[in-house]
Structure formats: structure tokens, C-alpha cells
Structure 1
């Protein structure tokens, strides 16, 4: 009994619990800070009441946090949403309701994605489709509907402004998921490439610069040229997969949102609801194109590598099992036996 008591150290157990609680508190604080900072950035393009914007980065950050660290991070999201909205008003009860909607939306999106077996690598077509339709377009209906309804019920908005405001709110929350979440997930797995040829770097720079240039021209021209951005997204997806496509989507979406807020190019002469329809269609198209193509190319590359590895293992097994004379009659292109294995039998 004395040996067992000696093995158990109450002080060490309390210290371990304290470290876990401290680490959890620091994670929650980091989530709150990230939510607040990204919200301040998103509010630079507000269109309604100084608090409804067509790009709301906190939704993407909140969803990624839940995907990586689990539901235990919801207090950080809730606290961040409350701190942001309490400064925007209109009063404490509507603020609490809006913060609740901002918290529930990414939680519901997370639950839906987990139910369908979503993988954060975004290396399958089903993962890209799930992020678009369940995580962004579906999950963000909660925050947009609840938030707009609360503003109307508190008389902060007129009833006739419900749908225009709802469209901006839904667009912003959905774009936060479609634009920010893939970028963060790609950055999480990206590694600094070593020995990359100079031409490869030049291609990446040309891709990012070309995307920005074409997006500026397309969103500020009176001629309908928005489709010119799509070839650059296809280029990025084929050559760099998600690591290259996600930054291109961010660049194109931010430029389009800025043009929509200013009423430039294809957004001129339209009311707020029509602008949001055009903007949502454009941003949804570029995000869907980039995500789907990146997922398909990544999936094909992985399948090809698996086939090559299986062929190599099969060839090695045949070398070990068959007599050497069997392979001596094979053409050199079919042998493929490593030099160190020639003339040896297992």
C-alpha cells in the first residue's frame, strides 16, 4: 500500500490539471482575439448599419477552430462575437441574440461537416462539396436569419430592409467560410518548398499577380468581364492545388467585394439586393471552381501515387518469388529491377 501511495503524487496531479486549464484558457483567449481582429478587418466594407458586411472572416476562423480543436472552443467564439457586437449595438438583448446566432452558425456547420465525414485536408471532391453547401451556404443561414430578424424586431431596421440586409449578412458569413476556411486549412498543411526551381516561383508570382490584375479590370469595367478570373483559378488548381487556389480566391473575392461596395463596374446601377446577388454569384463561382478542381486534382494525384506504389510492391514481390531466369527474358523496359537486386535471389 505504501508503494502505491508513493507512486501517486497529488501535487503533480494538480499541477497537470492546472497546466491543462491554463492551456485551454489561452486557446480560448486566442480564438477570441482572432475573432475580434478579423471582425474589425471585415467591418471595413460594411454596407448596413456599420455592422453587416459582404465578407465576414470570423465565420471561417470559427469553423476552422472547431474543426481542429473541437466543440470545446465554442466559448472563445461566443465571447468574440459578443465583444464585437456589443460595440455595434443596438442594445444588450439584441446583441446577445446576434452573438448567439454568430456562435450557433459555425457550430451547426461543424456538426453537419462531421456527420458527412469531412476531412480538413480537402483532398476529396466530397469534402469540397460539403464545405460549400453544408458549411457555407447551409450553416450560415442561421446567423443571417437570426441576426436580421433581431435587428428588425428591435426597430434597428425597417421591415422593408429585411431581405436586402439578410442577403448581405448571408453573403458575408458564407464568403467567410468559402474564402477564409480553405486558406487557413491549406496554410496549416503547407510546407516551405526546398529546391524549388526559379521558374516555379516565377509561375506562382505571375499567377497571383495576374489574378489580381484581371480581377481589378473585370470588376471595374462597364463590360461584363467577370468570367476572365476563372482561367486563373483553373491554372492555380491544376498547378498548385489548394495551396495556390485558396490565395487566388481570396484576392479575387476581396477585389470584387470592394467593387461591389463602391458600386463599380458590373455592380453599378443596382440596388443593394441586386449587388449582393451578383457578388454572391461571382464569389460562389470562383470558390466552387477552385475548391472542386483542387480536390479533384489532389484526389487523382493521390490515386496515381497509390497505383505506382502498388506496382512497385508487386514488382518487388515477383523478384523475390520468381527465378532470375524469368526476368532475364523480359525487355529492359519491363524489368525495372533495381541494379542492387540483379543476380540475387531471396
Structure 2
């Protein structure tokens, strides 16, 4: 977290705002490359800017919220001249990440995501709970301004909500861990990391583009990455899988051949959501167990050192040998 004093410096604060706004806009352009039509609206299966916004607020503090509004406005403006509904959309896109960070702080969330409770907080508080704000305001203003028929509210709301939630589940952990990852990694892990990357590049496209629906093949890959490389490996695999699955879904090929728009959206979001949950929570559990084991091992080493020190300092002096004329007395006390 950046200290509040640093954020008050005009130069540093302005640079941070511009950087966050630029990242938000760039992520929005990437998200808009793949779209699906639901009812009378066009939505994105994954909205990466939401993940960027939550990560920025966690790292830089809540003071950078104007950059999120500016980035969202730039993204809306790139699609055409905004109308009155832009106010509700901007409010929702800004308020949802802010609410997510406030909820995470309330839950004492750690950006390292080294505990199961951190993973659960990110899933249920930041992704599922807070993102209802952006979906409600965004779809609500579309209905109020006549751009969406009232009967299509819930279908579009669900697609909007899941898209924002997926941005938090996939992009936010990746950015938080990218900031803390040591580079280059230990040389001893390169062979296995290379093998994992090669297997992922072979299995993930096969799972996404196979017409016999082999999406389940990615789960052993996610488990391998989580067991050996924890959150960094599993989230990289999840990000690759989600991107390729989204491309296949928007092109209606592979596992999504022959499905209508609603079925494509439902299948894609169910797969992306379950895959991201598996990667995030499994990695958090493994990381927590490994940290607990290291703590126990460290405590054992410290205990051994303390016992060795006490033993060395409290050893009693050797007893003198008995005199030659002395002999042990019998229990009865006789001469």
C-alpha cells in the first residue's frame, strides 16, 4: 500500500492516476475484442478492467478511484458519443471496485493470497458480492433510458455481473502476484516450468477447440500448476484457458458449436467460473499449508536451539568418587 503522504504529492499522485487510467483503458480494449449478444445488449464474457481496478485500489489505495472513472469514461467514449446512461455506468464501474476493496479490508485480506480465507474473500466478497453494484447500475440505466427492454433485464444483468466477477477472479490475483513475484525464478524450477508450459500449450487449445467437448482436460493441468507452482502457476494456466475458451465461444467453434447465444454464454461462464475457483482456492489452500509447515519447522528448530543452550548451561558437575573405606549402607540402617 502506498503511504497517504506520497499520494498527496501532486506529481506522484498525477502519475499514478494516469497510469491506472491507461491500464484500465487498455484492459477495456482487450475485453471489447470478444463480445456476445444477450437480448438487445452486447456484453463481454470477461471484463478485465474490473480486475485492474480492484488490484490498483488494493496496491495504491482508495485515492486512485478517479483514475477508474476516467478509464471507464475513455472506454465508453471509444465506442461512440456517450448518452445520459453513461452516468450510471460510470458510477457502477467505480463504486463496485471501491466496495470490493472495502469489503476485503473488512475481512483483513492479504494481497499475497497466502490463506484460504483470502481466496474465499476475493471470490465471495470482491467478485460475487461487490460486482452486483456495477451490474445493477449498468443494466438499470439501460432499461431506464429505453436502450433495453424490461423483460431482458435479468439475462443481461447476469451476463454483466459474471463478466465483471470473472475479471476480478482472473485478473486481480494475476496482477497482485505479478507485483510480488521474484524474477528470474530459481534455476532448478525451469525444467518443470517449461514442461508445464509445453503441456498447457498443447492441452488447452485441444480442450477449447475440440468438437467433442474436452474442457475437463484442463483441471489436471490446473492441479499440477497449483501443487508445484502455487498461485502463480495456476492463475497463469487459468488465464490462458479462459482467454482461449472465450475466443472459441465467441467464434462458436469447438466445445461451443451448435449452441445458441444464451447456451454459449451459460456454458462459457460456468466453465470459466468453476475453473477460476478451482485454481484460486486450491492454490490458496496449498500455499497456506506450506506456510504452516515452514512455521512449524522454524519453531522446532528454535526449540532445539533453546534446549541445546539450556542443556549446555545447566549440566551438573561430576560427582566425586567414593572413598576407598566407604561402603554403601544397607536399607535397614544397621552398622
Q: Name 1:297's counterpart in structure 2.
A: 286
Could you say which residue in structure 1 is the equivalent of 2:231?
A: 242
Task: Please tell me whether the aligned partners of residues 105 and 143 of structure 1 are also in contact (alpha carbons under 8 angstroms).
Answer: yes
Q: Distance in 1 between matches of 2:291 and 2:194?
A: 26
Q: 1:273 & 1:237 partners in 2: Cα distance? A: 32
Please state how far the C-alpha of 1:19 moved relative to its aligned partner: 7.9
Cα distance change of structure 1 residues 76 and 17 upon mapping to structure 2, 3 Å threshold: closer
Q: Which residue of 2 aligns with 1:116?
A: 107
Q: CA deviation at 1:112?
A: 1.2
Q: Using a 3 Å threshold, how does the CA distance of structure 1 residues 262 and 254 change in structure 2: closer, same or farther?
A: same
Equivalent residue runs for 1:142-181 within 5 Å: 142-181=133-172
SS of alignment partner, residue 151 of structure 1: helix
CA distance in 1, matches of 2:130, 2:260: 26
How big is the shift at 1:157? 2.7
Q: What is the rounded CA distance, in whole Å, between the counterparts of 1:235 and 1:18 in structure 2?
A: 41
Contact 1:263 1:269 survives alignment (8 Å): yes
- For residues 279 and 315 of structure 1, the distance between their equivalents in structure 2, rounded to whole angstroms, comes to 54
Report the counterpart of residue 35 of structure 2 in structure 1.
46
Deviates more, 1:294-303 or 1:216-225: 216-225
Matched, 1:86 2:77: yes
TM-score by length of 1: 0.83
Structure with more helix by fraction: 1
For residue 195 of structure 1, report the CA deviation from its aligned partner: 4.8
Q: CA deviation at 1:58?
A: 0.5
Compute the displacement of 1:21 (Å).
1.3
Is contact 1:85–1:98 with CA below 8 Å preserved after alignment?
Answer: no
CA displacement at 1:89 relative to structure 2: 4.9
Give the TM-score, by structure 2 length.
0.86
Structure 1 unmatched ranges of 5 or more: 1-15, 327-346
> Which residue number in structure 1 is paired with residue 96 of structure 2?
105
Aligned length: 309
Cα root mean square deviation, aligned = 2.2
User: 1:290 Cα shift?
Assistant: 1.0
2:32 alignment partner, SS class: helix
- Aligned residue among 247, 262, 278 for 1:258: 247
Deviation, 1:259, is 1.1
TM-superposed CA distance for 1:160, in Å, is: 4.0
* Structure whose alpha-carbon radius of gyration is higher: 2
Alpha-carbon distance in 1 for matches of 2:80, 2:209: 34
Whole-Å separation in 1 of the counterparts to 2:16 and 2:208: 39
Which residue among 175, 184, 190 is the counterpart of 1:184? 175
Partner of 1:73, secondary structure, is: helix
Cα distance change, pair 41–312 in 1 and its aligned pair in 2 (3 A): same
Question: Partner residue of 2:328?
Answer: none
